[in-house]
Each structure stands twice: as C-alpha cells, then as structure tokens.
C-alpha cells in the first residue's frame, strides 16, 4: 500500500525505509493502536465516530512511530512509550481536525474530511476533545518532564498555525519567515515525538538533544517535501489533487522561490492568483510552468535535503543498528516521496 | 458597572453578593490578572491581541474568583491558587472562543466577538493556544492531582459541547438530556474551579467533595438562569439582545418546558422556528407569549433555585465566615440576575 517511492537510485533499498521502520515497531504499534481506540471512546457517540474516521483513514502514523523507534534506539524496555506515542497521535489528530476547518479542506488522504462529513462545529469540538484526552493520557503517565515538553509543544504548534494565518496570501513572505512557520507548526511535533524516546529511557541530555535535532530537522525536510509534492504529478498517486495549496492561495517555499525569481509581469500573475485568490482556467498550469522555468521544485527539494542531512548527522551519536538505519532511511523517504 | 440585580426583595443585601465576593478576593484577583496578562503573551502578535480582546472585555471572572474564594474558605495561605485561577480563566476563554465560532455568535458582553473581528480561523487557533497555555501553567504548578482534575474537566467540557451539537434543533430533547448537556458544558468547570480551593489547601476529601458539589450545583443554576435571561427583558441591560438563543434555534429549558406544555398547533410553531429555524417577523414575540402562557421562565427559575439550594447546603460544611456568606450570596445573585 505504501508503494510510494519509486526506486530510482541505486543507493535506494528494498523494502523502503517506511516499511522497514513499520516492521521494526510493528508489535509496539499494535499496542499503540489499542490505546488510541480505547482512549478515543466517549459516551457521546459522535466523538469516536468522527475521531475514528480521521484516525483510521490510513495515515502513516509516522509521528507515533518515531516515538516507538527512538525509544528502541535508546534501549528502552518499559511500557511508557506506548501511551505517549498515542498522545502524539492525538495531538496530531486534533491539529489536523482544526487545520481542515481553518483551511476549508475537503479531502485528506483521499477521503472526505471530517468537516465536510460532520461540519466545522463538530470538527472543532472533537479536536478539543482529542486534545484534552492527550493531556489525560500524559497525566496518567505522570511525568512532569513529559507534560512540560508536550504542553509547550502544543502551545508552539498553535503559535505556528496563527503565524501561518497572518502571513497567508502574502507573496512577499520571506524564506526565513516561512521556515519559522513550518518549524513551529510541523517540526516541533516531530522533535517532541523523537525526544520522548530519550526521556522515557532516561538517557543523558546529549542523546535527548540529538533526538530533538533529528526530529526537528526531519520535520522541516518533511514539510518542505510536502510543499513540493503539492505541485508535483506524484501527488495524484497519493489520493490528493495537484495544486490544492495553489487554489487556497497558500504561500509555501515553491511559491516563495518562484515569486522571487519572477519578472514584473510574472509577479503580477502570482499576486492575482495567490494574494487576491482570483484564479481562472489555466492558472495552475501557468504556475507550474513558472515553477519549472525557475526550478522552484528541485530547489525546494534541495533545501529539504539540507535539513535532512542535519537530521541524519544528529543520529550518528547513536551506535549503528537496524533502528538507526531505518530512522536514517526515513529522512530520504520523506524527501524522495516528492518525486 | 455591575448594577445588575434590582433590589426587589427585602432579604436582598447591599452591596450585592458579586460586589462582596469581588471585594473579598480583590488583592488575589489583581495577581491573577497579572498572570493572565503575562501568560497570554506570544511573539505572534495576533495571539495577545485576540485573546486580550476577549479577556479584557469585562467578564465577571466568576470562575477564577470561585477558586480564590474557595481557597480562602479553606484557610489556604500559599500562592498556588493564583496561577490555577488563571488556568481556569484560560480554559474558560478557550471554550468561549470555540463556542462563538460554533454558534456563529456576533456579540459577547456587548462587544463584537473575536470571530467577527478576526475570523473563525484565528479564533479556533488562539483558542488552541490558550488551551495549551492552561496546561503549561498547570504543569508549572506541578501537581498531578490538579492536572488529572483539569484535563478530565476539559475532556468533559468538549463532550458536553459535542452532545449539545447533536441534540441541537431537536424540540423533543428531554429535560434530563438537557441537564446532562449543561452539567458537562458548564457545571463541570464551576465544580473544578471550586474543588481547586480544597486541593491547594490540602483539605480532607469531604471538603473537596462539598466544594465540588457547591460548584456543580451553582453551575447548573447559573446556566438555567442564563437560559431564562435570554428570553427576559433583563437581557437588554446586560449588553445582549433578547432572543439570541431563539434565533439560533437553541434548545434550552424555557423552550423544553413551553414545548411540552404546548398544544398541537403551538408545537408546529416551535418546530418551524427552532427545528427548521424558519423564522419571520413576530415569531420571537409569539414565542415569548407562549412562554408567558405556560410559565416557562418562572418555572426555569424555580428549577434553578432547586440546584441553588443544593449548592448552598453543600457550603454549610464550612464554618460561617464572610467568604462563606459571599459564596452563598453568589448563588442567589446568579439566579436573581435573570429577573
């Protein structure tokens, strides 16, 4: 099912890195899924219905997998990583529910979004429920270090989303501002998911920092690849449509690069389509042509590779192992899926 | 400014109970306000702007005041009640921001709502931020008992909101279901706010339970009075318009009582106006006439008094004191403001 990466380099292995990571944490992941199902229950039937629609919709569960894999990398042999990985997925799911309302998205992972099926109101409130549930599960874990990390993470996530909102439809957004947005709205949760592995295993600060750095840089690489993917023909094979970001007037790195490199007339085009979101037939094709002209997609991927390289180097603090290899592979997987 | 209660009974004192409670916790409340201002800051400027608009908009701050007063009632002389009262206000504010989006409200406390001024998207995301911030402040407090109470409370709050959504526009909603909704969406936060007083003071379980019961029953009485108030001429003096609930097709106790007591033709009217929300000029006046005919408002207030009586009796576990008197007075204040 996850036959997403074409084998186009001799250095790429079979099975792909996501499959290898999935196999390594398979037993733990089955337990995480049990916790997720058990803890999303509520006497209010709409809650498990709506949450279940999102959670069972075939996401990769990459974030909780990172918690499980980093715990394994740290030699952890307890049980705390199981509910905490579920927490990470709850926080992520709550964010997705609110995101889809904010972005008025209609499709996610090839399915209609919860806001289309049950309305914005239910999506906002069930998001709130999942968020609360995440904090209940953390409280059951009982570690103030974990609570501090994850309450701080969720505050930064919200800040990132608000920041994105205030820079939206502004083609003059700088690459730096954009990096700030994705560091806050995406990378911080990847970082926390990975840091948890060292925290539960009670590893020294250097290892916790290395995993935080791995997760943060992986998260940035992942988001940049996602942004490129939205303009790539590859997108269609993932059950998504090409150009969703364009239609919403989202300012992502491919747009920022193309706009900066455009001449005056082309800039008028970008402002009309993305700032005023005044679009007509053929505009997406013209945008794609400009991106090709200015190499916006390969250069976005080159930026992603830069963060990916930092992520991989951060992991080298740990001794080689199949888990370390799989985590390293996930970096390439995240970047390469855009092509 | 809070000259809200007409002195229409010889048993009513001057100054009113809210003023007396406000005076008793004045110094502590000034410190709570400092914490609120300090902890709603963010490098993302829209966050303190939007949150500040709501938080500074002249709410009574009844819920954090309850935490301060119950801590005083329990003889607490530490500092933990200050940030925890701020937490309660953050949780309440986050709920209000999301509520106003869900209800498409345009006015709150006589001001335009944040969703009107900054849009639904910003309201959802700043709500998420305040929610996260509440958990950061709780984590700083460091008590797992408090975290357990408040994460559970916020899960039940969300459940209550979803439950309300699923019963909305259904005039056949029973009084029992309705009580379930308001217990979850309103009373549980009042209960937690009061319980905190006993928790920080490390008082025996009986006192914690008494304060939980006081808060819960006060919360139900408060919400029932609020529901009556929406149909009462008194509403206009509070900067709100009469009949907001009616226009939204909200099913509250006055409607439930009036509908149950209506004849077949009158029920057709309720179904058209509240289930199909198909309303025309004169409908609100007709609804008010039916409520008068069936005594829906005085009977809603009678129900509120019943819960109020339980709240007052719960307090009698504590020795008489000006704080106990003021808390007792708040019950009457909450109910009487509807007339």
Shortest distance, CA A37 to any CA of chain B (angstroms): 16
Residue B131 · residue A128 · CB < 8 Å: yes
DSSP string, B277-305: ----TTHHHHHHHHHHHTTHHHHHHHHHH
pTM (2 d.p.): 0.90
d(CA B283, CA B270): 10
- The band of A215, judged by pLDDT with boundaries at 50, 70 and 90, is very high
Chain A residue with CA closest to B184: the answer is: A44
Residues from A contacting B (CB-CB < 8 Å) are 42-47, 94, 98, 101-102, 120-122, 124-129, 131-133, 135-136, 138-139, 142, 144, 147-148, 151-152, 154-155, 157-159, 161-163, 165-166
Furthest C-alpha separation in chain A: 61
pLDDT value of position A14:
59
Shortest distance, CA A157 to any CA of chain B (angstroms): 8
Which comes out higher in pLDDT, residue B41 or A5?
A: B41
Interchain contact, B144 vs A139, CB within 8 Å: yes
- Give me the residue from B124, B129, B139 closest to A144, CB to CB: B139
pLDDT value of position B6:
43
- Give the residue among A208, A200, A187 at the shortest CA–CA distance from A146: A200
Which comes out higher in pLDDT, residue B291 or A237?
A: B291
Query: What pLDDT digit, counting tens, does each position of B47-96 carry?
Result: 999 888 888 776 789 999 999 999 999 999 999 999 999 999 999 999 99
d(CA A330, CA A225): 13
- Torsions phi, psi for A143 (to 5 deg): -100, 125
Query: What pLDDT digit, counting tens, does each position of B163-177 carry?
Result: 988 888 899 999 999
> Please, is B7 exposed, middle or buried when counting C-beta atoms within 10 Å of its C-beta (0-12, 13-18, 19+)?
exposed
Read off the pLDDT of each residue in A71-97 and give the average, rounded to a whole number.
Answer: 96
Residue A43 · residue A32 · CB < 8 Å: no
Task: Calculate ∠ Cα B188-B189-B195, nearest 5°.
Answer: 90
- The band of A8, judged by pLDDT with boundaries at 50, 70 and 90, is very low
**B249: pLDDT strictly greater than 70:** yes
Interchain contact, B144 vs A148, CB within 8 Å: no
CA B218 to chain CA centroid, nearest Å: 10
Chain A positions in Cβ-Cβ contact with residue B142 (cut-off 8 Å): 144
- The band of B238, judged by pLDDT with boundaries at 50, 70 and 90, is low
Shortest distance, CA B135 to any CA of chain A (angstroms): 6
Determine what percent of chain B is predicted with pLDDT higher than 90. Answer: 76
**A226: pLDDT strictly greater than 80:** yes
- Give me the residue from B45, B125, B162 closest to A98, CB to CB: B125
Least confident of A21-30, A55-64, A200-209, B230-239: B230-239
**B144: pLDDT strictly greater than 80:** yes
- The band of B2, judged by pLDDT with boundaries at 50, 70 and 90, is very low
CA A308 to chain CA centroid, nearest Å: 14
pLDDT value of position A5:
41
Containing B108, the helix (H) or strand (E) segment is strand B107-108
Least confident of A45-54, A145-154, A306-315, B299-308: A45-54
Which residues contact residue B219 at a Cβ distance below 8 angstroms, ignoring those fewer than 6 apart? B182, B183, B186, B187, B188, B189, B190, B191
Which comes out higher in pLDDT, residue A182 or A106?
A: A182
Read off the pLDDT of each residue in B248-269 and give the average, rounded to a whole number.
Answer: 95
pLDDT value of position A236:
66
pLDDT value of position B13:
44
- The band of A259, judged by pLDDT with boundaries at 50, 70 and 90, is very high
pLDDT value of position A3:
40
- The band of B232, judged by pLDDT with boundaries at 50, 70 and 90, is confident
**A34: pLDDT strictly greater than 70:** yes
In a mutational test of the B interface, the residue from A148, A151, A185 whose CB has the highest number of chain B CBs within 10 Å is: A151
- Give me the residue from A47, A98, A147 closest to B128, CB to CB: A98
> Please, is B288 exposed, middle or buried when counting C-beta atoms within 10 Å of its C-beta (0-12, 13-18, 19+)?
buried
Which comes out higher in pLDDT, residue B110 or A129?
A: A129
Chain A residue with CA closest to B41: the answer is: A159
Which comes out higher in pLDDT, residue B122 or B188?
A: B188
Containing B111, the helix (H) or strand (E) segment is strand B111-112
Query: What pLDDT digit, counting tens, does each position of A180-193 carry?
Result: 999 999 999 999 99
pLDDT value of position B56:
78
d(CA A7, CA A34): 34
- Torsions phi, psi for B108 (to 5 deg): -145, 130
**B5: pLDDT strictly greater than 80:** no
d(CA B263, CA A14): 73
Topology annotation, domain B17-336: Farnesyl Diphosphate Synthase (1.10.600)
Read off the pLDDT of each residue in A5-18 and give the average, rounded to a whole number.
Answer: 56
Residue A61 · residue A89 · CB < 8 Å: yes
Q: Bridge partners of A111? A: A108
Quick one: tokens of B201?
């003071």
Q: At which residue do the structure tokens 């700032």 appear?
A: A275
Chain A positions in Cβ-Cβ contact with residue B136 (cut-off 8 Å): 148, 151-152, 155
d(CA B153, CA B190): 10
């Amino acid at each position: 099912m996850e036959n997403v990466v074409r084998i186009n380099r001799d250095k790429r292995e079979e099975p792909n890195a996501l499959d290898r990571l999935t196999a390594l944490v398979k037993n733990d992941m089955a337990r995480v899924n049990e916790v997720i199902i058990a803890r999303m229950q509520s006497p209010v039937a709409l809650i498990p219905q709506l949450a279940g629609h999102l959670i069972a919709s075939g996401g990769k569960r990459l974030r909780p997998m990172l918690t499980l894999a980093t715990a394994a990398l740290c030699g952890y042999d307890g049980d705390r990583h199981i509910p905490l990985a579920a927490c990470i997925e709850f926080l992520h799911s709550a964010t997705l529910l609110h995101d889809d309302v904010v972005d008025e998205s209609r499709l996610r992972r090839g399915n209609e979004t919860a806001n289309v099926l049950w309305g914005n109101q239910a999506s906002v409130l069930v998001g709130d429920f999942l968020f609360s549930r995440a904090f209940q599960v953390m409280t059951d874990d009982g570690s103030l270090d974990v609570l501090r990390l994850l309450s701080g993470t969720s505050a930064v996530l919200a800040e990132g989303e608000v920041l994105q909102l205030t820079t939206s439809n502004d083609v003059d957004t700088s690459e730096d501002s954009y990096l700030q947005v994705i560091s806050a709205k995406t990378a911080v949760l990847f970082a926390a998911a990975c840091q948890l592995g060292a925290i539960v295993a009670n590893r020294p600060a250097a290892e916790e920092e290395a995993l935080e750095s791995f997760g943060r840089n992986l998260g940035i690489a992942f988001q940049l690849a996602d942004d490129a993917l939205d303009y790539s023909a590859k997108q269609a094979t993932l059950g998504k449509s090409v150009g969703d970001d364009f239609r919403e007037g989202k300012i992502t790195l491919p747009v920022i690069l193309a706009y900066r490199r455009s001449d005056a007339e082309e800039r008028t085009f970008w402002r009309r389509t993305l700032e005023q979101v005044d679009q007509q037939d053929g505009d997406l094709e013209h945008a794609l042509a400009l991106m090709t002209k200015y190499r916006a997609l390969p250069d976005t991927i080159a930026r992603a590779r830069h963060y990916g390289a930092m992520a991989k180097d951060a992991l080298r603090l740990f001794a080689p192992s199949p888990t370390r290899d799989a985590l390293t592979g996930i970096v390439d997987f995240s970047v390469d899926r855009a092509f």
